[in-house]
Amino acid sequence: MSKENEDILEAVYQIILERKQMTDGEKSYVKSLFDKGLDKILSKVGEEATETAVAGKGGDKEELVYEVADLFFHVLVLLGYYEIPPEQVYEELRRRFGMSGIEEKANRAK
Per-residue pLDDT reduced to its tens digit, 57-109: 999 999 999 999 999 999 999 999 999 999 999 999 999 988 776 776 777 66
pLDDT tier for residue 12 given thresholds of 50, 70 and 90: very high
Domain parsing of the chain, residue ranges: 3-109
| CATH (residue range 3-109) | 1.10.287.1080
The answer to whether the CB of 45 falls within 8 A of the CB of 75 is: yes
The answer to whether the CB of 22 falls within 8 A of the CB of 62 is: no
Q: Concatenated DSSP letters for 14-50?
A: HHHHHHHT--TTS--HHHHHHHH-HHHHHHHHHHHHH
